């Protein structure tokens, strides 16, 4: 029967094995973070990635840094920035797969690298203020649309664009 408890009573071989396992786990903490940084001038714009709201842009000197979104898969993403009083801006960003994410190298970058790898992509744009609309021109366009289409055409168009629920 053992009288001691804890690390002092542990056999030296098991203690060394435990220390090696902890050290190996610390060394094998590789990780790749995939980020899309979104900046707008002025900051505070709502950000949509693939039609989903993901947050608001921040100033670069914000305590948390500029706004970013983590992503899991590479490919093309659609983005939109909206802010009251400014024109909405949309576009696409191509997220190209870096060399260290192809097999078999990806195993080392994802699992074995002892440092964190950050894959950065950036969206930056200047938002333009809204221009005041011309009510007479809008009324003229609406009247032309009404005269050039039938009621059935307008319902069909609205159903396609608005994706109405029935």
pLDDT tens per residue across span 9-26? 556 777 777 665 665 555
The domain made up of 27-126 has a fold known as Immunoglobulin-like (2.60.40)
Residue 112's φ and ψ, nearest 5 degrees, are -95, -20
Looking only at the bridges linking them, the beta strands covering 67-70 and 46-49 are unpaired
123-150 mean pLDDT: 90
Q: How many residues does the chain have?
A: 166
Residue ranges per domain, the chain?
Answer: 27-126, 133-166
Q: Starting at the edge strand that comes first in sequence, how are the strands of the sheet with 67-70 ordered?
A: 67-70, 31-41, 116-126
pTM for the model stands at: 0.64
- How far apart, in whole angstroms, are the C-alpha atoms of residue 131 and residue 102? 47
Contacts of 2 (CB under 8 A, 6+ apart): 9
Q: What is the mean pLDDT of residues 137-155?
A: 88
């Amino acid at each position: 029967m053992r009288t001691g408890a804890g690390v002092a009573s542990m056999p030296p071989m098991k203690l060394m094995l435990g220390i090696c396992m902890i050290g190996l786990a610390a060394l094998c903490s590789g990780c790749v973070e995939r980020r899309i940084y979104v900046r707008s001038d002025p900051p505070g714009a709502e950000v949509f990635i693939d039609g989903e709201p993901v947050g608001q842009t921040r100033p670069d000197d914000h305590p948390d840094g500029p706004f970013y979104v983590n992503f899991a898969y590479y490919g093309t993403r659609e983005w939109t920035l909206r802010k009251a009083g400014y024109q909405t801006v949309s576009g696409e960003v191509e997220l190209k797969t870096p060399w260290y994410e192809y097999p078999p190298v990806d195993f080392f970058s994802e699992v074995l690298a002892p440092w964190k790898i950050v894959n950065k992509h950036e969206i930056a744009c200047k938002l333009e203020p809204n221009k005041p609309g011309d009510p007479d021109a809008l009324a003229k366009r609406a009247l032309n649309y009404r005269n050039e289409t039938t009621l059935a055409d307008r319902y069909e168009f609205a159903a396609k664009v608005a994706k109405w629920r029935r």
